[in-house]
Amino acid sequence: MMFKLKPAFKDYLWGGTKLKTDFGFESELDKLAEGWMLSCHKDGESIVDSGEFKGKTLSEYIGIKGKSVLGSNAEGYDFFPILIKLIDAKDNLSVQVHPDNEYALRVEGEYGKTECWYILDCDEGAELIYGFKKKIDADEFKRRIADGSFLEVVNRVKVKKGDFFFIEAGTLHAIGKGILLCEIQQNSNTTYRVYDYDRVDKYGNRRPLHTEKAIDVTVCDRPKYGTQPAEPPVPFGSGTSQLLTECRLFRVERLTVDTSAEIIPDSSSFISLIITDGEGEITDGSETLKIKKGDSIFVEAGSPKITLTGKADIIKTNV
């Protein structure tokens, strides 16, 4: 079985309107900072948008069908394992860090957050913060936060369309203004802000910082992972497949389809397909869905072979 998902939207103060203008999403919110394209998180669930379960939340569908639809790789989780977002940063996001599982479970009661970013588009000169220029210790980090100089030692990276970043829990980071990206992450919403540019929300309030927790969990070193996809593109039907990352949490590929291609699901994992550009159709032999830029497709573990036709760019994720 496969079906479309309707995202949950967030209107954070740094967000823009590209998810409306470029992706065609409809919402009463003025800003669409994030679209939660695949989510079972309590802070914003995806809604089934086609087929017999249309109108139900993704977690309600799983509750009815059973966890077997997620595949054997998800059996060890007592929760849905990942969360996928589209993020439109019209302004800078806060400089922040996420805890690992051990700290987050002990302090926050949910799992930690390792994530990765695929840059879909960006303004010329756009940049993000990714770790530190050099290794520093926790005492220096704490001192620099206190005296306002820690931005002097962060690692700023110019970005371009197609760049990829793996953000391991504990890595200081920030998405810069003018960046549109797809984020694949652990199913967590725990964020510790270190700096927020002294901004205020629409009510005149500054968003809270989490300095002490950030000091607890930040790894004060350069990131351990490079900024390029894991492998070069390989043939995939009429197009290509490029492995972006493969770790114990998720496997992410970028697929390009020029006319047609096939995906063969297995019983190990469900598959998420986020259509980031183009349009076409997807069929499993018994059902056919029209797809376009901005669609999120969920494919059950063990589903029949699916065929993609048309011309499209797709982010494919499984666990």
Q: Are 223 and 178 in contact (CB under 8 A)?
A: no
Lowest mean pLDDT among 41-45, 146-150, 249-253: 146-150
Which carries the bigger pLDDT value, residue 203 or residue 195? 195
Average pLDDT score over residue span 254-258: 98
Among residues 193, 199, 207, 248, which one is catalytic? 193
Domain boundaries, the chain: 2-217, 234-318
CATH number of 2-217: 2.60.120.10
Residue with tokens 């967000």: 15
Using the predicted structure, report yes or no on whether residue 229 has a pLDDT greater than 90: no
Q: What does pLDDT average to over the chain?
A: 95
Lowest mean pLDDT among 11-15, 117-121, 205-209: 205-209
Task: Give which of 115, 184, 123, 133 is closest to 159, Cα–Cα.
Answer: 123
What pLDDT does 278 receive?
98
According to CATH, the topology of domain 234-318 is Jelly Rolls (2.60.120)
Question: Can 2-217 and 234-318 be said to share one CATH topology?
Answer: yes
Average pLDDT score over residue span 221-238: 81
Dihedral, 21, 24, 29, 31 alpha carbons, nearest 10:
-30
87, β-bridge pairs = 34, 181
What pLDDT does 204 receive?
86
**Helix residue spans in 13-94 (DSSP H):** 18-21, 58-65
181, β-bridge pairs = 87, 119
Per-state percent for the chain, helix, strand, coil, to nearest 5: 15, 40, 45
- Strands 34-38 and 8-10: what pairing? antiparallel
Using the predicted structure, report yes or no on whether residue 226 has a pLDDT greater than 70: no
DSSP letter at 175? P
What pLDDT does 225 receive?
60
State yes or no: is 193 an active-site residue. Answer: yes
Q: Name every residue whose Cβ is closer than 8 Å to that of residue 77 and which is 6 or more positions away in sequence.
A: none
